[in-house]
Structure 1
Amino acid sequence: MHLVQSMAYVNETPWHGLGNQLVAHQPLEVWAQQAGMNWRIEEAEVRFVSGSAGSSLGSIYSFPDQKVLYRSDTNAPLSVVSSRYQVVQPAEILEFYRDLTEVGGFELETAGVLKEGKKFWALARTGQNTTLKGRDRVNGYLLLATACDGTLATTAQFTSVRVVCNNTLAIALGDGTGAIKVPHRSQFDPQAVKRQLGIAISSWDGFLARMKVLTDCKVKDDAAEAFLRRVLTYSVNPTADGSTSAVNDRAMKVAHELYTGRGKGSDMASASGTAWGLLNSITEYVDHHRRARSGDHRLDAAWFGSGATLKQKAWDEALKLVA
């Protein structure tokens, strides 16, 4: 069962190997078509039929507190939500980037639809980039994503991609300025979000300073092992009293191998034996090696789910090494 319904991209094939390739600088209308985002979310009231099974058809009643969201092109149902729920359309996600790409120097790189249309996103390069010591290049991106099944607020988030291994890492600073979340009970106001992000453009500078500090931080073998153990320890029966924790041994083994030479770019001056290398062993594990039912399940987890949480934990632990 594929989560990625459809997707388009420019430049290199994405790390998950999915999607239709486009020539650079296509208009948004072409993106909408190729990314499978040229449909609308329609709404209808919830109705139900009373009467016991097997009997003749009962009366039809409506349930005014809820509404059904469905696709305009296929009529496929997407979700049942509160009547106060504010829909964000696929076109609005792409439209958000119009002025950014036409005058702001941004370039759309991927856009697409997950889970039959329940979740969709667009990702653009901001034009910000840096090269850490030893030609280790990191590019800045802006991700805008939303879902209509209750799993995700509309989220605009600065993110970075380490070119050598295509690892993604949300630029989440301690004060949370890297991400703007608009819950679906509020109206999505793209200009207001951009104004808030305007403040957060400075988050790239803060992120850059931290990356450089991580590349300068040498880590001893036992400290590296302890770091991986802290990041890859999870709670067992967290609801039970006296919950215990366990280490994911397979993940420990894979991440340790990635850190000590198997990882892409692990031999670079920036990463070899450093806190930056440790952090990237976790991001590479999450993006490329973590067990997943398919490439698109891995994408969903790495950007929005448990993988993103794991990367955030690794970032927080890496910053403790240099504190």
Structure 2
Amino acid sequence: MPTLADGIEPQLSVPDYFATIMTDTEEILGVVGKDYHIVQNTDAFSFFDSIVGNDTDIRYETAGALGKGERIFITAKLPGYIRVGKDDLIEQYVFLTTSHDGYGSITAAFTPIRVVCQNTLNAAIRSKQNSIKIRHTASALERLKQAHHLMGISSSIANEIEALFNHWSKVRITDKELKKLIGIAMAPSKEVLSCLQEEKFHHLSSHYLNIVESVFDYALAVPSQQQVTTKGTLFGAYNAITGYFQNVRNFSNEENKLKSIMWGTGLQRAQTTFNLCEIFAHSGSLQLN
């Protein structure tokens, strides 16, 4: 077996695979295939420039890099609000992210954020596309130039979401139904869902039950859940889940919190809750799948 001198690592060339590297720090960001096309950060963000243009009502708000720079993001705030009831306002954002590690596409998504509690209400309506995904291929830059049509998507979604949330704000849900909805939405596996369906609550872990109680307490106690639009309503039920991830759950750092809400567990739970609320709004009951 060949040996290595102390402190020396083998240098091997792997056919058809390449490393993406930060040129200033020489940090390796990821390993990619031969068809992967690098899209520089300035190019990835260029589609925002065509959106903003001379419109002073649209403004860049945040930008950042995660990890060693393998994922970057930028947000732009759009003019106007989604209005639920008389004065429950939801701001409208476009969120763009791209990665340089070979995982994930360039993604631009319409992202509403409720003003009173900064809940990210990030879910896709079944009948609407709320994001654009572009693979890192040779045509990526050209497709980015056309991505401004996300603005039309955003406008259409905003109108539908406003109607939907206003309807949900008038749909009543009892505390018992609310807790059931939370239990289903926060279930981490099919096994937990089966236990809920068969009412084998003694098989559920204390960790899971504590999370459900925490979300339930948030739903009933915090001021943003006591408004006309949220108290005892389906809109309040949806905000209970998103609010838990935004304002209650502990994350080791802000980066992990952002990852959860925009790509991870927080987003998945929000989408599940959104779908459950749609079911409840139409049928008046919850179904376990």
The answer, yes or no, to whether TM exceeds 0.5 is: yes
- Say whether 1:141 aligns with 2:93: yes
Offset, 1:95: 2.1
Partner of 2:49: 98
RMSD over aligned Cα atoms: 2.6
For the residues of structure 1 that align with 2:5 and 2:184, how far apart are their CA atoms?
A: 60
Residues 151, 291 of structure 1: alpha-carbon distance in 2 compared, 3 angstrom cutoff: farther
Q: Which secondary structure state, in structure 2, belongs to the residue aligned with residue 315 of structure 1? A: helix
Q: Which blocks of at least 5 consecutive residues in structure 1 are unaligned?
A: 1-50, 239-243
Partner of 2:115: 163
Contact 2:82-2:158 within 8 A present in 1 as well:
no
Aligned mate of 2:238, from 279, 295, 310: 279
Partner of 2:227: 268
For the residues of structure 1 that align with 2:155 and 2:37, how far apart are their CA atoms?
A: 27
Aligned mate of 1:218, from 154, 160, 172: 172
Offset, 1:171: 4.6
Q: Which secondary structure state, in structure 1, belongs to the residue aligned with residue 227 of structure 2? A: coil
Offset, 1:61: 5.6
Contact 1:142-1:159 within 8 A present in 2 as well:
yes
Which structure: greater helix fraction? 2
Contact 1:286-1:311 within 8 A present in 2 as well:
no
Partner of 1:66: 17
Identity among equivalent pairs (%):
22
Aligned mate of 1:206, from 160, 181, 184: 160
Contact 1:93-1:122 within 8 A present in 2 as well:
no
Letter in structure 2 aligned against 1:285: Y
Letter in structure 1 aligned against 2:133: K
Contact 1:160-1:170 within 8 A present in 2 as well:
yes
Deviation larger for 186-195 or 283-292: 186-195
For the residues of structure 2 that align with 1:281 and 1:200, how far apart are their CA atoms?
A: 24
Which structure: greater strand fraction? 1
Partner of 2:195: none
Q: Which blocks of at least 5 consecutive residues in structure 2 are unaligned?
A: 193-199, 283-289
Q: Which secondary structure state, in structure 2, belongs to the residue aligned with residue 117 of structure 1? A: coil
Question: TM-score of the superposition, structure 1-length normalised?
Answer: 0.76
Contact 1:153-1:182 within 8 A present in 2 as well:
yes
Offset, 1:260: 0.6
Contact 2:20-2:101 within 8 A present in 1 as well:
no
- Say whether 1:190 aligns with 2:139: no
Contact 2:131-2:150 within 8 A present in 1 as well:
no
Partner of 2:209: 249
Partner of 1:299: 258
For the residues of structure 1 that align with 2:235 and 2:218, how far apart are their CA atoms?
A: 12
Partner of 1:125: 77
For the residues of structure 1 that align with 2:174 and 2:9, how far apart are their CA atoms?
A: 73
Letter in structure 2 aligned against 1:215: S
Report Cα offsets for 1:52-77 as digits up to 9, x if no partner.
22379999663330111011221111
Residues 267, 237 of structure 1: alpha-carbon distance in 2 compared, 3 angstrom cutoff: closer
For the residues of structure 2 that align with 1:110 and 1:55, how far apart are their CA atoms?
A: 47
Contact 2:48-2:148 within 8 A present in 1 as well:
no
Question: TM-score of the superposition, structure 2-length normalised?
Answer: 0.84
Offset, 1:89: 1.7
Partner of 2:187: 233
For the residues of structure 2 that align with 1:87 and 1:108, how far apart are their CA atoms?
A: 24
Contact 1:155-1:181 within 8 A present in 2 as well:
yes
For the residues of structure 1 that align with 2:163 and 2:138, how far apart are their CA atoms?
A: 34
Contact 1:108-1:122 within 8 A present in 2 as well:
yes
Report Cα offsets for 1:75-122 as digits up to 9, x if no partner.
111011102112222212332211222334321111110111111111
For the residues of structure 2 that align with 1:310 and 1:231, how far apart are their CA atoms?
A: 6
Contact 2:224-2:230 within 8 A present in 1 as well:
yes
For the residues of structure 2 that align with 1:313 and 1:209, how far apart are their CA atoms?
A: 20
Q: Which secondary structure state, in structure 2, belongs to the residue aligned with residue 152 of structure 1? A: coil
Contact 1:153-1:181 within 8 A present in 2 as well:
yes
Q: Which secondary structure state, in structure 1, belongs to the residue aligned with residue 35 of structure 2? A: coil
Partner of 1:29: none
For the residues of structure 2 that align with 1:200 and 1:140, how far apart are their CA atoms?
A: 9
Residues 186, 129 of structure 1: alpha-carbon distance in 2 compared, 3 angstrom cutoff: farther
Residues 123, 246 of structure 1: alpha-carbon distance in 2 compared, 3 angstrom cutoff: farther
Aligned length: 267
